[in-house]
Amino acid sequence: MADLIALCDTDAVSEDAALRVEHDGQDYAVYLYEGQYYVTADLCTHGPGYMSEGFIEGCEVECPFHQGKFNFITGAPTSPPCTEALKVWKVTVQSDKVWIDPSSGTVA
């Protein structure tokens, strides 16, 4: 198993918007929903929109560019024009930080 990386402090993430974190050339979007943290790729699979600049409703994020939507828990697209899932990573919370295993990234 690869080393975990700390993306951010837990209190840096709000339910209103995903937090953008850049690490080692990858842009991540960190979400808080019903007390759980989730991480997806920040860049939309459809174009140049960033999830961290999108609108959150429940467990969905709307891309600000063409208003496509994704479920940020699974990464699956839920509204066109998005058809390809976002990559998601397994999250661990420890010492008030949000951690991921960078090798755990999967695409639904």
**Contacts with ligand FES, residue ranges (CB under 6 A):** 44, 46-49, 63, 65-66, 68, 81-82
Toward ligand FES, which CB reaches closer, 10 or 65? 65
Minimum Å gap between C-beta 64 and ligand FES is 8
Dihedral over Cα of 51, 108, 71, 83: its sign: positive
Q: What is the nearest approach in angstroms of ligand FES to the Cβ of residue 27? A: 14
Say how far apart CA 91 and CA 65 lie, in whole Å: 27
107: which 2 tokens?
A: 């695409």
Minimum gap (Å) between residue 47 Cβ and ligand FES: 3
Place of tokens 């951690």: 99
